[in-house]
Amino acid sequence: MSPTTPRILAVANQKGGVGKTTAVVNLSASIAALGHRVLVIDLDPQGNASTGLGIDIRTLEHSVYDVLLHDTAIEDAVQSSSVANLFVVPANLDLAGAEIELVPAMGRETRLRRAVERVASDYAYVFIDCPPSLGLLTVNALTAAHEVLVPVQCEYYALEGLAQLLRNIELVNQNLNPTLQVSTILCQMYDSRTKLSAEVVADVRGHFGAKVLHTVIPRTVRIAEAPSFGKPVVVLDPSSVGAQAYRAAAKEVVDGRA
């Protein structure tokens, strides 16, 4: 890859509440703090990645919806965030209609990829926050990305559903994006007081080996409350254990560059 080619990571898991958005917000902010230009593309109609980075999604002039469905130039939708070096293509509830509106659209699976190509050389990293489904928005993310980062929650059903995600990635490999691969698994919401968390992490490592980051993200109140301040925990409370874990995970992601 040339130095002007960014790493493009789709953060995906069709389960809701596993920590996709929290991972996007904190990994991107940690990597931006290392001096890299980072772009976050919010592909969830909830817009939580956008608001978590300080963007008011009630007053958007352009959102990712306009980029995908109205041929708005992506550079017109990019906003700076509450964090230096970190930029966002925000989403709002308009995007809820996109899964259906994309169905009859020309090039429906490749719209995000074509948009990202326009701005790729401006960034070192692009993170795409996927919605909790495997519909056309997630397909657009998987088609635009080079890698998939999968957050898994340290709970009993952690691995359930991942087979379906992997099957979808294979379909995208066959039809749209032959080099896409799961590069990274991040274990989320680790509770050191329970045996279950440790068992789940061991299980995930057994399945995915070296793709699983050494760093696990603990369950902490600070991580949970940071979004209400419109800031990642790594910015809001940099010395907290959650922030330390996210910085360590981000360093592993950066060092893992092939």
Site residues for Mg ion per CB under 5 A: 20-21, 44
CB of 33 to ligand ADP, least distance (A): 19
Partner from ligand ADP, Mg ion, none contacting 189, C-beta within 5 to 8 A by type: ligand ADP
Partner from ligand ADP, Mg ion, none contacting 150, C-beta within 5 to 8 A by type: none
CB of 28 to ligand ADP, least distance (A): 13
Q: Which is nearer to ligand ADP, 103 or 224 (CB)?
A: 224
Q: Which is nearer to ligand ADP, 85 or 215 (CB)?
A: 215
Name the residues that contact ligand ADP, by CB under 6 A: 16-22, 48, 132, 188-189, 217, 219-220, 223-224, 227, 242
Partner from Mg ion, ligand ADP, none contacting 22, C-beta within 5 to 8 A by type: ligand ADP
CB of 241 to ligand ADP, least distance (A): 10
Q: Is the separation of the CB atoms in 246 and 149 below 8 Å?
A: no
Task: Report the alpha-carbon distance of residue 9 to residue 146 in Å, rounded.
Answer: 6
Task: Please give the structure tokens belonging to residue 186.
Answer: 């991040």
CB of 174 to ligand ADP, least distance (A): 26
Whose CA is closest to 63, among 98, 17, 37? 98
Sign of the CA dihedral running 92, 8, 160, 212: negative
**Which of 197-225 are b and which e, b meaning 16 or more Cβ less than 10 Å from the residue's Cβ?**
beebbeebeeebeebbbebbbbbbeebee
Q: Which is nearer to ligand ADP, 16 or 206 (CB)?
A: 16
Q: Which is nearer to ligand ADP, 22 or 143 (CB)?
A: 22
Q: Which is nearer to Mg ion, 130 or 204 (CB)?
A: 130
SS3 category, 239 = coil
DSSP H or E stretch at residue 88: strand 86-89
Task: Please give the structure tokens belonging to residue 1.
Answer: 């890859």
Residue 92 CB-half CA count within 13 A: 12
CB of 23 to Mg ion, least distance (A): 9
Q: How many CB atoms lie within 10 A of CB 93?
A: 13
CB of 180 to ligand ADP, least distance (A): 20
Partner from Mg ion, ligand ADP, none contacting 219, C-beta within 5 to 8 A by type: ligand ADP
Q: Which is nearer to ligand ADP, 18 or 112 (CB)?
A: 18
Task: Report the alpha-carbon distance of residue 227 to residue 52 in Å, rounded.
Answer: 5
Radius of gyration of the chain (CA): 17
Q: Which is nearer to ligand ADP, 27 or 78 (CB)?
A: 27
Partner from ligand ADP, Mg ion, none contacting 206, C-beta within 5 to 8 A by type: none
CB of 73 to ligand ADP, least distance (A): 27
Task: Report the alpha-carbon distance of residue 50 to residue 23 in Å, rounded.
Answer: 13
